[in-house]
Amino acid sequence: MSTIRFLTGITPSGTPHLGNYAGMLRPAIAASRSREVENFYFLADYHALIKCQDPARVQRSTIEIAASWLAAGLDPEHVTFYRQSDIPEIPELCWLLTCVTGKGLLNRAHAYKAAVDKNHADGTETDDGVTAGLFMYPVLMAADILAFNAHKVPVGRDQVQHIEMARDMASSFNHIYGGEFFTLPEAQVEENVATLPGLDGRKMSKSYNNTIALFSSREQLRKLIGSITTDSRTPGEPKEVEGSALFQIYQGFASEEETEALRRQYAEGIAWGDAKQQLFERIDRELAPMRERYEHLVAHPAELEDILQAGAAKARRETLPLIRELRSAVGLRSLAQAPVAAKAKAARQALPQFKQYREADGKFYFKLVAADGQLLLQSLGFDAPKEAGQAIGQLQREGETALSALQPRLQPADPQLVLAALQQLRDAAE
């Protein structure tokens, strides 16, 4: 099976909080340690401009969030860690996707609908205060994902819709331009920690001002946990875990055994002060070792900049070849080339072809056939059609490099004939 790509990011519009860590940073960093996973993590600073027009706040938040990733254990030597605005191919891809995306799809986006509903409730114009940036947010998010053909995107449950929309956009582009340009991404939601409640019981969010900063001092962490909303039940009186923000936050950090122990204590009537002390000790035990690294990086932002610039160079080795292929696919080509329609018509009659199909064993295969019908390349079986499609796309983009990398999944073939056929396909697309 080919390497799975994970991609995730966080918007630098505020100080990272426990919800960001438990729902995104921690599972993403854990995934980065697998040899079977290729990881792309980014600072979504273009997205920040939708929410924040304070330049100093955007820069400060970028520093804090970059430092948080690294302090939490992200290794930039083994992953691609970059700042969104350092990758010019992303906004270009955003425009290409915009041109194949129906406005009706964007009308259904949760953030936009919430803004419209609020306006209606307030008796104002439907789009009052709605910027084009807010409306186009799902397209930019899709460009973030598709620029790297990510397979999995760790998100909170409220973000799943955006992954589904990215799939729609990728499918539309693939269909319109007749190729396997994009992998269809999938959302990965960690059910137990996808969304943590905040101090007031609502979802922990900067917009609700109910967060617990990830790297609060020990004293501030204790104070914030002490302010979590609880009910009026007294010590000794059984308490419900259902709807308890305190219990849900604890569950996001504790093991199953620790969680069950606190559940029993709730039933036995633990005092709220004692429960909050347990929550404080559990969170502080996990975060305390990271604080020193975080505080050093925040105090030395030039170190962060060097790391991000190295990550951008690494990321663009992926995005530059893809955007060249996409520009050619949509017709943004040299005017010295033959007219596209005439060239495409002639090419269809004399080009090798990839053919993808399913066999009786339930697996998915592909083959490369010359214009005269000669079999040039035959794959072994893949478990899913998208895996076969990804392998085809990799061969078309990378040629000899991909042929070598995929060799365990291919039956013996004359590499020179295959490479010549792949070159024909690339030439025809230019």
Strand order in the sheet with 364-369: 353-358, 364-369, 375-378
The whole-angstrom separation of Cα 379 and Cα 368 is 9
pLDDT, position 339: 57
Q: Are the beta carbons of 38 and 6 closer than 8 angstroms?
A: yes
* 196 labeled binding residue: yes
Is 19 annotated in a binding site? The answer is yes
Residue stretches of the chain with pLDDT short of 70: 1-2, 190-194, 337-350, 360, 372-373, 412, 429-430
Annotation-wise, does 20 bind a ligand? yes
Predicted local confidence at residue 2, as pLDDT: 59
Q: Is there a binding annotation on residue 206?
A: yes
Burial (CB count <10 Å: 0-12, 13-18, 19+), residue 127: middle
Residue 348: the pLDDT is 43
Q: Is 156 annotated as a binding residue?
A: yes
Give me the pLDDT at residue 154, please: 81
144 annotated binding-site participant: yes
Report the largest interatomic distance among the alpha carbons of the chain, rounded to a whole angstrom. 84
CA atoms within 13 A on the CB side of 342: 3
Strands 4-10 and 37-43: parallel
Beta-carbon-side half-sphere exposure of residue 339 (alpha carbons within 13 Å): 3
Q: What is the DSSP string of 338-396?
A: PPHHHHHHHHHHH--EEEEEE-TTS-EEEEEE-TTS-EEEEB--BSSHHHHHHHHHHHH
- The CATH superfamily label for domain 353-428 reads YegP-like (3.30.160.160)
Residue-level pLDDT at 293? 94
What does pLDDT average to over the chain?
88
What region, left, alpha or beta, does residue 378 occupy, with left being phi > 0 and alpha being psi -120 to 50 degrees? Answer: beta
Residue whose tokens read 């599972």: 27
CATH code of the domain occupying 4-191+300-330 = 3.40.50.620
Q: Which two tokens stand for residue 342?
A: 């005439």
* Residue indicated by tokens 């990550």: 311
Multiple choice CATH, 215-294, 1.10.287.1260, 3.40.50.2300, 3.90.400.10, 1.10.240.10: 1.10.240.10
Distances (CA, A) of 145 to 135, 185, 186, 272, 426: 18, 8, 10, 43, 24
Residue 263 to residues 234, 247, 274, Cα–Cα distance (Å): 16, 8, 13
pLDDT at site 59 = 95
Q: Give the separation between CA 253 and CA 233, rounded to whole angstroms.
A: 24
Q: Mutual orientation of helices 301-330 and 55-71 as an angle, nearest 10°?
A: 100
Tens digits of per-residue pLDDT, 331-379?
A: 998 888 665 554 444 444 457 888 777 776 778 888 888 876 678 889 9
Which 3 state secondary structure label does DSSP give 8? Answer: strand
CA separation for the pair 396, 405 (Å, rounded): 13
Flag whether 11 is marked binding: yes
157 is in an annotated binding site: yes
Q: Give tens-digit pLDDT for 118-145.
A: 999 999 999 999 999 999 999 999 999 9
Q: Is 284 annotated as ligand-binding?
A: no
On the question of a common fold for 4-191+300-330 and 353-428, the answer reads no
In terms of DSSP bridges, do strands 37-43 and 80-83 run parallel, antiparallel, or are they unpaired?
parallel
Query: According to the annotation, is 243 in a ligand binding site?
Result: no
Annotated binding-site residue? 12: yes
Per-domain boundaries in the chain? 4-191+300-330, 215-294, 353-428
For residue range 68-96, list pLDDT tens digits in order.
999 999 999 999 999 999 999 999 999 99
The whole-angstrom distance between residue 419's C-alpha and the CA centroid of its chain comes to 33
Residue 231 marked in a binding site: no
